[in-house]
Amino acid sequence: MPPLYDDMGTAMNLAGPPRRVVSLVPSLTEAIATSLPDVLVGATEWCTHPAGLDVTRVRGTKNPDRGAIARLRPDLVIANKEENRELDVTRLRAAGVPVWVTVVETVPQALDSLERLFVEALDAPVPDWLTTARELWTGPLPDVAATAAIPIWRDPWMVVGRSTFTGDLLRRAGVANVFAELQDRYPHAALEEIDRPDVDVVLLPDEPYVFTGTDGPEAFRRAPTRLVSGRLITWYGPSLLEAHTALKWLVATL
């Protein structure tokens, strides 16, 4: 096979179409398990979808068990620039394990990256769900229907900032991120900067921090809050179809 180039522009030579794949990215685990379940042999403990996924677990996204990965004899490991450490990617490659690294900061970038992953890296057709997701999520941006702040951590509080998949996804649903112009992608913010009367809603996801009905909403006095599925605003893959329905409903009920 000719050399392949991942989203980082790194070249790799594969002997043939991968038949043993380890995914270190929950979004991509769901995508592969949904469309090519027979090739997936390993995934992280954070890879919770699809339900009942039965593969070898290789610890977490930030601390993968490289020895366990090597023992699975993968033809390809799939990682992401944001979710996984460069150190782990470098050491896996040094051990002779091919690693395909994705880069995702916008919805179109995610759709293109997924298509390249399936067609070029996995030598598979474009999944139907990906075609549908492209139809749902591309095109002219809608008018802004609401503004939102999206905390991802508390004590200290951190929020979604500029150039993120989450911010772009919400904007394509008609929700503008009030912190989109800050310099950092995931900046710290004082609670009073988040809990403002000009914020239509504070969206509290269940990952990476697990906000719940008793952990998060009680901190806010001026801005209304909504608990949301982290998977539906941070994952890219089959979840994009569910996210389109859920976010349309969210906007309609604000």
Residue for token digits 């929700």?
Answer: 175
Residues of the domain holding 201: 146-253
Full-model pTM? 0.93
- Co-location of 16 and 124 in the same domain: yes
Has residue 141 been placed in a domain?
no
pLDDT of 43 strictly over 70: yes
Which of 69, 104, 136 is at the close of a domain? Answer: 136
Is 180 inside a domain boundary?
yes
Average pLDDT of every residue of the chain: 96
The model's pLDDT over 105-158, given as tens digits with 9 standing for 90+, comes to 999 999 999 999 999 999 999 999 999 999 999 999 999 999 999 999 999 999
Residue 184 belongs to domain with CATH number: 3.40.50.1980
pLDDT band for position 3 (cuts 50, 70, 90): confident
Q: Could you say which of 105, 136, 167 is where a domain stops?
A: 136
Which candidate, 181, 164, 182, 184, places its Cα nearest to that of 172?
Answer: 164
CA distances from 247 to 20, 125, 145, 201, 208 (A): 35, 28, 12, 13, 19
